Amino acid sequence: MQNKNVKLSKFESALFDMRMLFEQYGYSQYKVSKFESYDLYAKNKAFLVSDNVLTFTDTTGHLMALKPDVTLSIVKNTVGGNGLQKLYYSENVYRTRGGSQGFKEIMQTGLECIGEVDLYSTAEVLMLAAKSLKAVSEDYILDISHMGFISSLISENIPSEHTKELLELISQKNVAQVEMFLTETGVDADIKNALLTLTSLYMPLADALEKIKPLILNDAMGEAYDELKTLNSLMERYNIKSLYLDFSVINDMRYYNGIIFSGYIKGISDKVLSGGRYDNLLKRMKKDAGAIGFAFYLDTLEQLVNTSSGFGIDTLIVYDENVAPEVVVSAMEMAVSEGKTAKAVKKIDTDIKAKEIVDLRGEQ
């Protein structure tokens, strides 16, 4: 029986819509266990959002961890080489968030595309990311960036011991300090100019492509540009508009290579979605395959203002000791069979807002 009066919370309805969406595009659900050997995370600490992992020893004395991340577990268990695997998951992960030191249980859903990743599947993942955001709110933004464009520019011209500092400044959009940094390092004027433009750049993808075209200085940048351009035209085909190019979206070069993206929703002050192409992670794990995917942090939806109707319940049924239980049963069942939400109480609680009150007291 479909009960229209039970309103799904934003959280539940978004999760439901996303799962529908993923299934429609042929992604199958992948279940992973809550625990994972700590070794996996120790080897790939830099891939995790926060390096705090909740650990415990199992009955055989092995050091185990409560999963802080799902992607690593999925990648570990996939065998590369045969076509393209399309998976989605929705799991709880355990890690710290933001500045707070305590561990949080974070509900996360996402998808991974592992195998021979081509332009079509890249576009499909990007489109699904945009539509997942749209399932929550029309007011969303998907920022996209390309590691290929920026990493070749940096690795060819900046000494590797300084890259971390530079990437950090770029991720803060700190134009003034990037300029100072580059003057100190003494790079060529055209490279400096390119990096400064990329740092401050923030505009819709279609317009941004025009702007970055003259900055192409090597083959890798040219390839990255072509990929972004094709993706842009494919996104137009999907009718997805809120796509912005932003090179402050940067992830670890050791894991990510191609496009990376993050999603935002108006009214939520955290990143709600994060994803990208991470072939380098598979290479590190000795798997011969490409991979792209994203994760959606459902816990951030708490921040959205709840727009409930104000009524907690449809029918409040009030009874006392003098009312026979049978009477209460039939009154309740009647309300429920009409598809209403009902609650039987002995006292009218002012905290409960009901559309109607059925008072059984004094009916004897």
Partner 1 sequence: MKDMINVALPKGRLGEKVYDIFEKCGYDCPSIKEKNRKLIFENEEKGVRYFWVKPSDVAIYVERGAADIGVAGKDILLEYSPDVYELADLKMGKCRMAVAGKNDFKDDRTRTLKVATKFPNIARSYYNSISREIDIIKLNGSIEIAPILGLSDVIVDIVETGKTLIENDLKPFETIVPISARLISNKVSFKFKNAQITELAKKIAEYCTE
Residues 67-106 vs partner 1: string with x where CB under 8 A? -------------------------------xx-------
Give whole-number Cα distances, 219 to 89, 167, 223, in Å.
36, 21, 6
The yes or no reply on residue 271 touching partner 1 (CB under 8 A) is yes
Stretch that binds partner 1, among 64-72, 82-90, 260-268, 345-353 (CB under 8 A): 260-268
Of residues 203 and 357, the one with the C-beta less far from partner 1: 203
Rounded to a whole number of angstroms, the minimum distance from the CB of residue 174 to partner 1 is 4
Q: Which stretch binds partner 1 (CB under 8 A): 110-118, 124-132, 232-240, 266-274?
A: 266-274
Nearest CA among 235, 22, 234 for reference residue 135: 22
Q: Kindly state whether residue 261 participates in binding partner 1, applying the rule CB under 8 A.
A: no
Please give the size of the binding site for partner 1, defined by CB under 8 A.
21
**Both tokens of residue 179?**
């300029």
Sheet bearing 342-345, strands edge to edge: 342-345, 313-318, 354-359
Residue type at position 140: Y
Nearest of 117, 173, 168, 159 to residue 290 by alpha carbon: 117
Distance of closest approach, residue 134 Cβ to partner 1, in angstroms: 15
Q: Are 259 and 252 in contact (CB under 8 A)?
A: no
Span of 21-29, 49-57, 167-175, 321-329 interacting with partner 1 by CB under 8 A: 167-175
Sign of the alpha-carbon dihedral angle for 48, 54, 59, 60? positive
Q: Identify which of residues 23 and 270 has a Cβ nearer to partner 1 in the complex.
A: 270
| 132 binds partner 1 per the rule CB under 8 A | no
If binding is defined by CB under 8 A, does position 264 make contact with partner 1? yes
Q: Within a 13 Å sphere around the CA of 68, how many CA atoms are in the beta-carbon half?
A: 24
Residue 254 contacts partner 1 per CB under 8 A: no
Beta strands in 75-133 (DSSP E): 84-96, 103-115
203 is written with which tokens? Answer: 């505009």
DSSP state letter for 305: P
Determine, following the binding rule CB under 8 A, whether residue 296 of this chain makes contact with partner 1.
no
157 or 174: CB nearest partner 1: 174
Cα 57 → chain centroid: 30
Which tokens in the block code for residue 236?
A: 């137009």
38/263 Cα distance (integer angstroms): 29
Within 8 A by CB and 6+ apart from 20, the residues are none
Residues 3-32 that bind partner 1 (CB under 8 A): none
| Closest approach of partner 1 to the CB of residue 165, in Å | 11
Q: Which stretch binds partner 1 (CB under 8 A): 63-71, 253-261, 267-275, 333-341?
A: 267-275
Determine if 143 is a binding residue for partner 1 (CB under 8 A).
Answer: yes
Q: Which of 5, 50, 174, 230 binds partner 1 (CB under 8 A)?
A: 174
- Kindly list the residues in this chain that would bind partner 1 in the complex (CB under 8 A): 98-99, 139, 141, 143, 172-177, 202, 244, 246, 248, 264, 266, 268-271
